[in-house]
Structure formats: C-alpha cells, structure tokens
Chains A and B, each alone.
Chain A
C-alpha cells in the first residue's frame, strides 16, 4: 500500500497573537463539541533548576496550584471542578505545562484562573512545606516503593551527560527538596514565569475575537518582564561506552537501558525525524525489530522499548536529547548478550536499511498517533503551545505527516549508524527483589 500517498492531513485554523507583555497566544477554534482546552506552557523545565535545588522546577509546579493573587488555597481546583472541568500540570526537561479542560461556558473563568497565577502564585511557608511532603510521597510511590521506579529516566542522564543541567535527577533529592525556601520560589517565579516566557493556547468551542478580548483583559495587565536568556546546555557526546550499575531492591529481574545522543531537533528537524521513525521501527508493536528479534525469535528479553527523550514524547526536548533503548530479561548473566543483540539489530538497519513497506507502515502509524492525540481538545491546547515553545511554531505538529513522508530509507540507515557502541551510556539494573 503506498502509504505516504494516502496519509490524510489535519486542518485546524490557528490564530496567533502576542500581548504587549510578551505573552504568546494561539487560538484553535473548533465548534464541534461544547468544550474548551486551556494550555499554558512556560519555557522552563528541570534542566534550568539551580544546583542544590534538584527537583525544584517540579516542586514549583505544585506550588502553582496553592492559590494565587485573588484565590485562597484550594480555590483554584475547586473553581475548575465545580465548573465541570479537569486540570493538571506537568514538569518536563525543557518546559512546564498547566491545563484545564472545561465546558465552553467556563472559558472566561478558566482564563482568569490561569492569569491569576501568572500574576502571582500564593507561596507561603505553610503551602511550601505541605507540597514538599506531597512531592516526597509522589517520589515514594513512583520511585522508592516501586520496582523499576524511575528507571531509566532518573538513572541514565547522570551517566550519559557530564554537566549538572543535563545530568541531574529531575525529581530531586529529598535533601534539596527539604532545603527549598519561599524566596527560592519567588525568585524562580520572577525569572521564569514572566508572560514573555509563556505560551497560552485555547482550543475548542470559542469565537476568536471575543476570546482574544478576554485574554487581553485578564492577561494584558500582567507585569512585563524580560524573557530569560536560555543557555545552550550543549555538551560533547560521550567518547566511549560509559557504564554504571543501579541496584533496585524491589525489582525481581534485571534490566538495562542504553542512552545515545541524537541530532539537535531544532537544528534540522528532518534529520531528527529519522531518529523518531527509527525508534518506531525498533520497538512499536509486534512487527518491530526488537520485538521480533529479541522477544519473539530469540526469547532473550521479556520486554524491550526504544523511544526518544525523557518520557517518550519525541518532540518535546531541545538539544541535547537522547534515544533510549531498554530491555528487561531474566538473568544478569545475559546482559552482554542482550547488548550484543541490540547492536546486531542496529547494524542490520544501518547496513541493509528497512524492509519493503516497513518505513511506510511506521509513518502511517506515527501520523495516526498524532491524529488520535489531537482528537482531544485539551491535548490540542497542550500540543500547540508546546510546539510553539519548543519549535517556535504551533503548526509544526500539523505538518508532521508531510515531514515524515520526506524521510527516506537512507535517512533511517544514517540514523541507525549514529547509534555507536563507542558513544553511549549503559545503566544495568541489578535486581534485589525475590523472584
């Protein structure tokens, strides 16, 4: 099937605007369902948090829900939910997002709630202590009390990278979290939560003109601050194979994770997308290379995955970012064999390229995943604001099917050839749990 010829495209009207204080606005009207999504992305993630304050960007995200200039503690989420909506936020390597999905009749209320915490979150010693406790429970439930918890996103960077911004633990050490102060939070807010460092996207059942008026009304008066300069964060790729063991007392079986540097997504998106498709070829579904070879045919591993970035969204990080390959298997004695089997698959792709139909299949699959994602109004507001932040253009996500179509077999071979054994990090998870 000539897949690239049959890929449908998505059309969403995007309206761009910038307020005098620098806030970038993207509207994506769509009247089909009476719901709206409000997404705010701040151009700061845990890569930017200071030494001695690991985990601070995430802790600060929690503090953004603790009340604001005109709202007491608890009121933010009470207003959202009593309006029939949902909310959340999440902290990533290069950005932090906040969102509400609401019935359309709560649009202005939602805009007010976002504007009010962009004006000033209510950061008190009591709220800070409460959220330090909550974040510690989050880390306990997701990392310390869970087999394979945080593996490999918390362990791989400190082997693959050498500089603090790239290498440190983004959830944070308990000591650093405990040491966080109200002044730290005020300073972080002042620097990084400037309107000029944010993108607001409103998607769904709205009229553009009155919505822009509302945005001007609620956000226009927020104090203008300079957009903070973003350091390059660049550092050289490893010049060898760097290895470390990580002991997991709860895990019943061993696992390993391999991290490779990949090209800068912002420098050449076409070259980068070859790595994105390569990860799909390696591990998406039963027809993928690692599933067929390592899981089904050799029965060497129980699970295998290949993905880009910290959390598996391939298009949310700037340089430096990475491709991860992870596998879980039964016996530590097989570790070298598993690494060799991964290398053999990468060699095969670098040498022989893709099979007939294979590349088209993963392009169609990836485009379908994008369509599926954008069916949800709140995802649209988050994706458009993320693409505006990371790629400077919200519409890049709509161009993805066409951009993917241009990636050739030669591009995939080159992407596979870049994943060299002499420039990578490997973390071996040593299980301590009873089998």
Chain B
C-alpha cells in the first residue's frame, strides 16, 4: 500500500472539516402496520392451554411447551437441571438414539431447558411432521423413563459442565450477583450445586417428573405453516392421554434487597473485571413499565445509549456493555453487565455511576425519547417477524398471563410515554443508591482503586 493514498488524504481533509456539502439522510416513509397476529386458543380437557398461529413463511413450524416448574425445595435446582439433561434419554417406546432419530427424520432436534419458573421443550420441524412431532412430545411427557445408565452418564457430564461454568468470569459474576440481589430465593442462584447433582438418582428424577410434568397450567405454542383448527385437533388427539395437575409449590415472596456496597469476588489472574449492577424492576403488567423499559434503553439497553456511547465508543473500556430488564414470574429485575480491562475497572465504575446518577436525576431529551420509542417498537416487530421469534415471544408472554393483545397494544403504550415519566421511572429504579453490585476480577489489583470511587463490602 502506498503510505499516503488518495483516500488517506481525503480522510484527513474530512477530519479537518473541509468536506464537500453534506448529503441529507433520507426521511422515513409512511410506516406500514405489521399484520395482525391472529391466534387460535383452546384449553384442552386435561388443562393444557394451546395457542396456535398460522405463519406460512417457510415450510416449518415452531413448538414451545412450557411447564410450570417452580419449587422452593433446596434440591430443586440441581434435580431440575439433571431432569432437563436426561428427559430425552429414553421413553417407554424409544431409547435415546431412537428418540433422536425419530425427531431427526422430521428435520428436528428437541431442546430442553429449565429455569426457576418453568421447564421448556422447544423444537422446530418440517410442517409435514406436525402430528408425528406431537406424538413424540406426548411420548416424552407421559413416558420419559430416565434409564439408570443414562442418568449416571448425564450426571457426570452436568457436574463437569457446572465446573466449567464456574471457571468463566461471566457466569461467576451472574451467580454472585443473583445471590446478592435475591438471597435465599430460588431466583438467587445461577449455578446448581455439584454435590446435589452428584447425589441425584434416577428414582428421584422419575418422582420429580411425575409430580411436576403435568398439563394443567402448561402452555403449548405452535407457530408456522399449519392450519390452526387442524393443529388444535392434532394436539387434542396426541396429548389427550397426558393428564393431572402438578404438585405446585407456593409462590415464595421475593426478597427486596436495597442498596448494598459493591462485592469484590477474587478471580486471580483475571485480565478483565466482570461488573454486574442491578436491582428490582417493574413487571410488564405495571402501568409504569413502558416508561421503565424506555429508561433502561436510554441508559444502556441499546447501542446508541448513554452508557454504551460513554464507556465503549468514547473511552474504549468495554466491548459489549449492556443493560436489560429481566422478567421472571415473581419478580422483574434491572441488570447491567460490562467486562472491562483490569486496569480501567475503577474508572469504568465511576462512569457507570455517573451515567446512572445522571439518568436518575435529569430528564432525557425529547430526541432520546423518540429514538428509544422507535427502537422498542421496531425491534418488537422484528422479533415477532419469524416463526421462531413469535413462538418464543408468545410462550414467554403466556407465562406472564399476557397474550397477543399485549403485543398489538404495546407500541401505542410506548408512544404515550413522556420524558417526565421516563425520568420518574429512572429515579425509582436506576439510581445508583438503589442498586447492588458485584465485581469479579483480580482482587489484588482492583480493590484499592475501586475503594476510591465506591463503598466496598
């Protein structure tokens, strides 16, 4: 490359401010409304709620089966994780290989995940495979057998995976943060206990399955290239033999922790510090939620936010700082995450506290409000424009008691929010004096600098 090419000279001219007259950025044209999402819903005799949407964009369908799985038992986290790892390892009709083969022939792989609120079975398959897939799901929920040999193998693998997770700074930070914000609650723990996993037996998994994997209160969502009426009939036929109600744990109140000093968790040799700050937030059903949603976006919830522009685009402290509002059934939380170089840990915390304090005490501009409103509305439309995105969204909303009307009405709710309402929400929930925080990093290097900008635990 020649050392001073014409483009380099042009770049220097531009930075000196002698550029040619600017071209105007094109205006937006008239917005087109997303097509209304019309669902067919039915609660079957066995208590299973079925939600079906026809969306023939590709010759596939998406399936989400969410089963309430909350429990306050101290062993529940470890057992539910192992249950999710072994539920597909055999049924009364198929062994593990047979199950995977049957799904694979439909173009599918079945995924299982579990959180404190629910067990979620997710898959997508060729549209022609709807009935066989529903039969397979029925076989799993009514006939998962937890073969002793498979349970033993998966138990060792889950212990191994948990230990690998513990070696990750980000996972450690998430776990420490959850324990600090929600102590003693099933939500207050990101990692299961290895000893409890190791002590779990196939018999215990079968008992857990019998008591909680029940249709009453469960929600099945189907989205794709299908006929809703025929899909509901197929679900009815395939899953009629799945019966009963779960032995539900009482909802445990979520502890509301106020402000706490920053907890430093030592990870010797860490070249970065994983920062987490957060506190309680509002559920989607609260009248002030849209304002809080927009306050979070303006603070750190999208790339154009104050915090991201400050600590990434201005200072270069972090690659992907972000903040979000997480909704569990019994609690919503505000959380911010950043991994920053060890040597800039204290300055990064200082800027974070500054941006939190600024948004909590001074209103945002009208232009910022319009930007976050458009972003929230546009990304909701994008997220629900695919079979998979819509299925995931509807499944999550159903878990919160909300439906497609929430999706349809949310843009109007966002557009009604004022800068004053955003300020009030930020004042209540984003103020640094209302948050708890953890910093996972090399304590020997970060403790002293941090102590000059924030109280440490």
Contacts and interface: CB of A to CB of B under 8 A. Distances in A.
Interface stretch (B113-121, B161-169, B201-209): B161-169
Interface string B373-391: 0110111011001111100
B313 A130 contact: yes
B58 A120 contact: no
Interface stretch (B232-240, B314-322, B393-401): B314-322
A140 B319 CA distance: 9
Contact of A361 (B1, B31, B101, B314): B101
30 contacts: A3-B105, A8-B126, A32-B35, A34-B381, A73-B313, A78-B304, A105-B32, A109-B27, A129-B316, A133-B317, A134-B319, A136-B341, A137-B318, A140-B341, A144-B271, A145-B272, A146-B169, A148-B164, A182-B12, A186-B5, A187-B8, A191-B1, A296-B96, A302-B160, A357-B105, A361-B104, A361-B105, A364-B104, A365-B107, A375-B57
A81 B375 contact: yes
B277 to A, nearest CB: 17
Contacts of A364: 104-107, 126
A116 interface: yes
Contacts of B35: 32-34
Contacts of A287: 97, 100-101, 104
Interface string B273-312: 0000000000000000000000000000011100001001
Given A286-B97, A364-B107, A364-B126, A8 B374 contact: no
Interface in B81-123: 88-89, 96-97, 99-101, 103-109
Given A78-B304, A103-B378, A330-B160, A141 B14 contact: no
Interface string A122-149: 1110000111111111101100111110
B378 A85 contact: yes
Minimum-distance CB pairs A-B, first 5: A84-B378, A133-B316, A368-B107, A187-B1, A186-B8
Contact of B124 (A30, A81, A135, A368): A368
A83 B378 contact: yes
Given A69-B23, A70-B23, A120-B14, A33 B34 contact: yes
Contact of B371 (A82, A104, A134): A82
Interface residues of B, number: 98
A386 B269 CA distance: 40
A74 B319 contact: no
Nearest to A79: B25
Interface of B: 1-8, 10-12, 14-15, 19-20, 22-23, 25-35, 57-60, 88-89, 96-97, 99-101, 103-109, 124-128, 150, 153, 156-157, 160-161, 163-164, 166-170, 269-272, 302-304, 309, 312-320, 339-341, 370-371, 374-375, 377-379, 381-382, 385-389
B8 A131 contact: no
B296 to A, nearest CB: 14
A124 B105 contact: no
A370 to B, nearest CB: 9
A183 interface: yes
B145 to A, nearest CB: 15
A108 B26 contact: yes
Nearest to B109: A285
B23 A32 contact: no
A6 interface: yes
Interface of A: 1, 3, 6-8, 10, 30, 32-35, 50, 69-71, 73-74, 77-79, 81-87, 101-109, 111-113, 116, 120, 122-124, 129-138, 140-141, 144-148, 182-191, 205, 249-253, 284-287, 292, 295-296, 299, 302-303, 328, 330, 357, 360-362, 364-365, 367-368, 371-372, 374-377, 433, 435
Contact of A70 (B22, B30, B33): B22
Nearest to A362: B104
Contacts of B389: 376
Contact of A108 (B29, B31, B89, B99): B29
A84 B125 contact: no
Contacts of B26: 108-109, 111-112
Contacts, number: 278
A238 B98 CA distance: 39
Contacts of B387: 375
Contacts of B379: 84-86
A137 B25 contact: no
Given A82-B375, A130-B313, A367 B107 contact: yes
Contact of A1 (B1, B105, B168): B105
Nearest to B19: A69
Given A70-B25, A364-B105, A375-B386, A134 B316 contact: yes
A182 B378 contact: no
A105 B4 contact: no
A120 B318 CA distance: 26
B109 A360 contact: no
A252 B163 contact: yes
B109 A183 contact: no
Contact of A86 (B168, B309, B312, B382): B382
Contact of B167 (A34, A107, A251, A377): A251
Contacts of A74: 304, 309, 313
Contacts of B19: 69
Contacts of B108: 365, 368
Contacts of B12: 182
Contact of A35 (B11, B125, B156, B381): B381
A84 B14 contact: no
A199 B388 CA distance: 28
Given A183-B3, A299-B153, 15 more contacts: A74-B313, A85-B378, A112-B23, A120-B11, A120-B14, A141-B320, A144-B271, A147-B164, A148-B164, A253-B160, A285-B104, A286-B99, A368-B124, A375-B57, A375-B388
Contacts of A8: 59, 126-128
B319 A81 contact: no
A372 B33 contact: no
Interface centre among A113, A330, A368 (most CB of B within 10 A): A368
Interface centre among A112, A284, A285 (most CB of B within 10 A): A285
Nearest to B387: A375
A299 B309 CA distance: 48
Contacts of B127: 8
Contacts of A135: 319
B59 A371 contact: yes
Nearest to A186: B8
A296 B19 CA distance: 65
Nearest to A122: B14
Contacts of B99: 286
A190 B3 CA distance: 12
Nearest to A364: B107
A78 B371 contact: yes
Given A69-B19, A83-B378, A191-B1, A120 B313 contact: no
Contact of A81 (B3, B11, B304, B388): B304
A187 B11 CA distance: 11
A35 B97 contact: no
Interface centre among A141, A251, A303 (most CB of B within 10 A): A141
B312 A105 contact: no
B58 A374 contact: yes
Nearest to A376: B386
A433 B167 CA distance: 8
Given A137-B317, A137-B319, A302 B385 contact: no
A55 B163 CA distance: 32
Given A8-B128, A84-B377, A368-B124, A302 B161 contact: yes
B100 A10 contact: no
B10 A377 contact: no
A362 to B, nearest CB: 7
A426 B243 CA distance: 52
Contacts of A292: 97
